Structure 1
Amino acid sequence: MMKYLLSFLFLYLSSFSAQAQNVTFHGSKHYNIKVNQFNKEGSLPANAIIMLGDSHSEYGENWNRFFPNAKKIINRGIIGDDSRGILKRLNQILPYKPSKIFFECGANDLSHGWSVERTFQGIVNIIETIRRQVPQTKLYVQSLLPLNERVGVWRLLKGKEDMIIQLNNRLKSYCNSQAIPFVDLYTPLLGSHPKAMRAEYCRDGLHLTDKGYEVWANTIRPFINE
């Protein structure tokens, strides 16, 4: 009898894991590759800390190097991802009830030509889904990062510095009204110009250098440790 019960339990857990990992949304080639990679990696460790977002998170690579004494930090960033793609792959994360999620999103939504309002609503949809499905998980909403067009110009984001500021303000107000920690990454990365990332933090006009990631890590360190 015990043998049959153990077999049933194994099949049930296997079915749960497969269902949790299934992502029906198809994005870019890189998105699909990463989703399949995450699927093969299987379940997440208990009480993991998740870095969830787009290229900014993915290019951070092994976030544990900044926090050697923290619990396991899992990188779930995907280059080019937007609020649609992130929403569709939450089932690769939420069933495992991570202890913390550090979430950033929005640059790619704006690069698609979406308005600040549409981008904001897409991000809020993700936030509300996380809070509804895993209320015990501590969620930290991180701001969008500044650009630096003197270092490099991202054509689809050119001239959208004010939209980034507007979106950050919307997100900050929303998080304050919902008692969600809002992490300002924008201000610490600024240089002397009020709307431009400091040059030494920016490698191509959008993405961070190693020094930029050190600033990011130091900004979230109090939240990692709390």
Structure 2
Amino acid sequence: MTLAPTRAQGRPSHRGWGRRALLPWILLLTALLGPGVGLAPAAAAEKPASPPFEEEILRFEAADATNPPPRHAILFTGSSSIRLWASLVTDFPGHPVFGRGFGGSHMSDLNRYASRIVIPYEPRHILVYEGDNDLAAGKTPEEVAAGFREFVRQVHATLPLARISYIAIKPSRARWGLLPKIREANSRIRRYAFGHRHVDYIDTFTPMLDRHGKVREELYREDGLHLNPEGYRVWAGVIRRKL
């Protein structure tokens, strides 16, 4: 009796033959179109996110290219309390002052960009206002103080004779619950400044309170956080004596 040949006995598989017949065409198509055909290019197409405040820093650099500030001048830098200081230049007549403030920034942001918006100007005096937003975001007073110490280290590594002043974190109605941390951060930085050459602390905290220890509301905008023109006049009166 003759048995019908099985697949194991060598009977060709039409399915296998079909695959083998298509293989050269698949290889040719792959070679013509490239190895990336059919792969989702999402990862390659996604643009890496810019670091925080990069666009603002680029604007500063563009302005510097067309109208560079004077070298060896007095630089105010930091968060929105510097950015919003519209009368900065006129508040310090006879002094070559300019500002590089970017609102919402932390001490860590200033450290990130110091090599671009601080050190290149070779300022003789740098006044820093940071720490307000740090504490509001949950950072500790020691983290704020450590950030300022890092800023001093960065600057003095290149400009060892530059004077660096820390403008005290202000009290405010909007962040009244942070008052103990504000006091502690200011205290830590004041102690640090006392023991280091070319570093000092400017007490703009105390004049913002009345004799009862409450915030002087007349010095602030309606948001209870940022200074109004009268508030900046108070700051200028304190800082002017330190220039």
TM-score between both structures, scaled by the size of structure 2: 0.73
Structure 1: segments with no counterpart, 5+ residues: 1-23
Please tell me whether residue 122 in structure 1 is matched to residue 151 in structure 2. no
**Cα distance between partner residues in 2 of 1:212 and 1:68:** 18
Counterpart in the other structure of 1:94? 119
Please tell me whether residue 55 in structure 1 is matched to residue 55 in structure 2. no
Counterpart in the other structure of 2:62? 40
**How far does the alpha carbon of each residue in 1:86-116 deviate from its partner, in whole angstroms, 9 at most, with x for none?**
0111112212211211112101111111111
Please tell me whether residue 183 in structure 1 is matched to residue 197 in structure 2. no
**Cα distance between partner residues in 1 of 2:163 and 2:235:** 18
Counterpart in the other structure of 2:171? 146
Counterpart in the other structure of 2:12? none
**Cα distance between partner residues in 2 of 1:25 and 1:125:** 23
Deviation at 1:218, TM superposition (A): 0.7
Deviation at 1:158, TM superposition (A): 5.3
Match of 2:130 among 105, 127, 131: 105
Counterpart in the other structure of 2:242? 223
Q: Number of paired residues?
A: 189
Q: Quick one: which amino acid aligns to residue 241 of structure 2?
A: P
TM-score between both structures, scaled by the size of structure 1: 0.78
**Cα distance between partner residues in 1 of 2:50 and 2:187:** 30
**Cα distance between partner residues in 1 of 2:54 and 2:210:** 36
**Cα distance between partner residues in 2 of 1:57 and 1:78:** 8
After superposition, the CA RMSD in angstroms is 1.7
Q: Quick one: which amino acid aligns to residue 221 of structure 1?
A: R
**Cα distance between partner residues in 2 of 1:182 and 1:158:** 22
**Cα distance between partner residues in 1 of 2:158 and 2:192:** 19
**Cα distance between partner residues in 1 of 2:215 and 2:240:** 21
Higher RCO (Cα < 8 Å, 6 or more apart): 1
Instruction: Report SS of the residue matched to 2:230.
Output: helix
Instruction: Report SS of the residue matched to 1:60.
Output: coil
Structure 2: segments with no counterpart, 5+ residues: 1-48
Contact 1:104–1:141 (8 Å) recurs in 2 = yes
Deviation at 1:25, TM superposition (A): 6.8
**Cα distance between partner residues in 2 of 1:97 and 1:165:** 31
Counterpart in the other structure of 1:19? none
**Cα distance between partner residues in 2 of 1:182 and 1:115:** 19
Q: Quick one: which amino acid aligns to residue 164 of structure 1?
A: I
Please tell me whether residue 81 in structure 1 is matched to residue 99 in structure 2. no
Counterpart in the other structure of 1:6? none
